[in-house]
Amino acid sequence: MEGITDAPMRALQGSTGAFTYAVSEFLRVSSDPLPSKVFLRDIPELLHGGKTPTGVPVQIQLLGGDPDLMAQSAVAACESGAPAIDINFGCPAKTVNRHDGGASLLKHPFRIREIVAAVRSAVPASIPVSAKLRLGWDSIESIHLNAAMAAEGGAAWLTIHARTRVQGYLPPVFWPHVGQVKEDLRIPIIANGDIWTFEDFLRCREETGCIHYMIGRGALANPVLSRQIADELGIRKSDRMSFVWSEEEWIPLLQRLIYFTDFYGNKVPLRNLLRFKQWLKLAKLHGGFEHFDAIKGTSNLVEFFDCLSSALHGECTADRQIA
């Protein structure tokens, strides 16, 4: 989700009232601890009480393998206003894993405990520390020891993506193993992975027994999914008509993202354009959006919205862009 679930997107998703909190894109801790200026630059919600403009708290996510550097960075994040710290043990990116970060730590359960414990002991007791894990590097059974180590280190809750690192994002997901961890541990477990539809959510709930869920790509691919889940969980009550999505709603939704981009002072149209294309590609792959090929060749926002509007009315095609 790097590059798309930034502050403007968190603000937009938070405006639905469907989310109880958001998690930042991970900040990598490598050779030196991160200073406050990095947190304030990359997570501008910290300048607004650690919340989105619509009041959703933003948890700061750190990624790295050195306990001391992670602890020092967590302290800087808290001093910058972070309401909570999350530690990323789940990122499957090869570059990250080659540099002792993300899912590579799943091969070293006792290091997971050491890192969580270092961060937990360094930050104020009032600041929750959590961890995100996958089921394991190459074995789904690894989650039991890894989760136990994270909990022993002091994690307040765990988010578990129900795949191994070797799987990447390939199916299937193994939700029952998330449910087994929930039964074994005394801390909240948040289920994550492949919740693309409301039916996926219902199956995830049945197979995990969880009452907490994290959705990312699914919320982007299906703009009504978060509202449906929040309604089912009693987080908010929605007019059932709001669950009916018309493709013409994409235009005001994307324009609202520009509004939140401007709110944070980022007025670079090219970044908006790239973010839009990332978003709509997800919607094409997993949400049934049919017009991505028509807009993927656009070079500026004016052309993008012109072509999207025409495509929604059956007038703009990929051939027009090539021409």
DSSP for residue 172: P
Q: Calculate the CA 175 to chain-centre distance.
A: 18
DSSP string, 102-155: GGGGGG-HHHHHHHHHHHHHHS-TTS-EEEEEEEESS-GGGHHHHHHHHHHTT-
Buried/exposed 134-152: b ≥16 CB within 10 Å, e otherwise: bbbbeebebbbebbbbbbe
Which has the closest alpha carbon to 254: 224, 277, 282, 238? 277
**What is the Cα–Cα distance from 18 to 36, expressed in whole angstroms?**
30
Is 316 a known active-site residue?
no
**What is the Cα–Cα distance from 289 to 281, expressed in whole angstroms?**
8
DSSP for residue 287: H
Whether residue 185 contacts residue 147, with contact meaning beta carbons closer than 8 Å, is answered with: yes
Catalytic residue among 78, 91, 210, 316: 91
Which has the closest alpha carbon to 166: 246, 113, 223, 106? 106
Residues annotated as part of the active site: 91
